Amino acid sequence: MNRNYTLFFLLLFAATNVQFSNFHSTKPSRLNSNSIKQQWIDDFTWVQYGNMPLVISVPHGGTIAPDSIATRSCPGITTVTDSYTIELAKAIDSVFMADYGMHPSLVITHLKRSKLDQNRPLPEANCNNEQMVAIWNRFHQSIDTALQMALQKSPQCLYIDLHGHGHANQRLELGYLLTDDELRNPATIIPSKTSIASLIASTKNTAEDLLTGKNAFGSIIASKGFAAIPSIQDKAPLANELYFDGGYNTKRYTSTSTYPNVFGWQIESNKDVRFTAAKRSAFAKALAAAIMEYYKMNTPLLF
């Protein structure tokens, strides 16, 4: 385990009255059970409230599709499931515990996207099915709760909306609310409109530093063997390449008007990092290490 990371978070959470009676810098051991809470919010929404400044939501990995719930059928919708993203989120959680002695917060829907889209606003999310409004609200209230709990203990929080794509290019697509055209023309980027606006405002890093510089998350994870865009290695999609730039959840939970101390991005994970347990485990280990390096390099949570 990295002693610097562990010592930092131990001091940070101790200063905010979070108890880690069994937390050691040399070997992760069982955390105080009161510091982690796992629960089913309803029949479909599972939540883990963790003990570090990281919240991960998984809106499209669910496979439960009850006949009693009408299938969405409004115009222009997408109903594809992001296969194995729930399993990937739990692999990431396991690595954080094993390697760093901490748990991120997880907000997961097990309801199939064909019934409810938890990365869309109402009424598109439910196609006007009033039966689904309460379930939609509980998922999003759980993200809000997780963020607020993290911010009670830390000055900032990282939010990741975890997805999976089926594009031909086997690379991570990191969505910062910037179009592919904006990434190809960085002079047009307005930092305050990105999903990392609060982080840019709180550090000396520029938008370019945090998108395609050596300090960018994409650059860090790519250096660990997992190609990512944007990054210093791959700054922007070509004009004929598909790219997801971030959706409703990323926009909502990184808005500086409502969440001024949250920054983050959407991760569209490629098949090669999620379709087998071994691949999920390897990627999760690299991703956790990349996040810890990113904290140290870029955030005010410096050691």
Q: Is the pLDDT of residue 123 over 80?
A: yes
Q: What's the pLDDT score for residue 32?
A: 45
Reported as a single tens digit per residue, the pLDDT across 167-222 is 999 999 999 999 999 999 999 999 999 999 999 999 889 999 999 999 999 999 99
Do residues 215 and 196 touch, judged by C-beta distance below 8 A? Answer: no
Q: Is the pLDDT of residue 247 over 50?
A: yes
Do residues 160 and 265 touch, judged by C-beta distance below 8 A? Answer: yes
- CATH number of residue 191's parent domain: 3.40.630.40
Q: Is the pLDDT of residue 12 over 50?
A: no
Domain that holds residue 113: 3-298
Q: Is the pLDDT of residue 21 over 60?
A: no
Indicate whether 17 belongs to any domain.
Answer: yes
Q: What's the pLDDT score for residue 57?
A: 99
Indicate whether 37 belongs to any domain.
Answer: yes
Indicate whether 121 belongs to any domain.
Answer: yes
Q: What's the pLDDT score for residue 35?
A: 73
Nearest Cα to Cα of residue 16 among 157, 158, 155, 199: 155
Indicate whether 141 belongs to any domain.
Answer: yes
Q: What's the pLDDT score for residue 301?
A: 65
Instruction: Count the domains in the chain.
Output: 1
Confidence tier at 226 by pLDDT (50, 70, 90): very high
Q: From start to end of the chain, where are the E strands?
A: 37-40, 45-49, 54-58, 105-109, 157-164, 172-175, 228-229, 262-269
Q: Is the pLDDT of residue 302 over 70?
A: no
Burial class (CB in 10 A: 0-12, 13-18, 19+), 70: middle
Indicate whether 53 belongs to any domain.
Answer: yes
Indicate whether 303 belongs to any domain.
Answer: no
Indicate whether 114 belongs to any domain.
Answer: yes
**Across 139-144, average pLDDT:** 98
Confidence tier at 34 by pLDDT (50, 70, 90): low
Mean pLDDT of the chain: 90
φ and ψ at residue 83, rounded to 5 degrees:
-60, 140
Which range (9-18, 65-74, 233-242, 271-280) has the least confidence? Answer: 9-18
Q: What's the pLDDT score for residue 229?
A: 98
Q: Is the pLDDT of residue 23 over 70?
A: no
Which range (18-27, 95-104, 116-125, 176-185) has the least confidence? Answer: 18-27
Nearest Cα to Cα of residue 269 among 289, 253, 254, 286: 286
Confidence tier at 300 by pLDDT (50, 70, 90): confident
Indicate whether 273 belongs to any domain.
Answer: yes
Q: What's the pLDDT score for residue 240?
A: 93
Do residues 116 and 70 touch, judged by C-beta distance below 8 A? Answer: no
Do residues 230 and 213 touch, judged by C-beta distance below 8 A? Answer: no
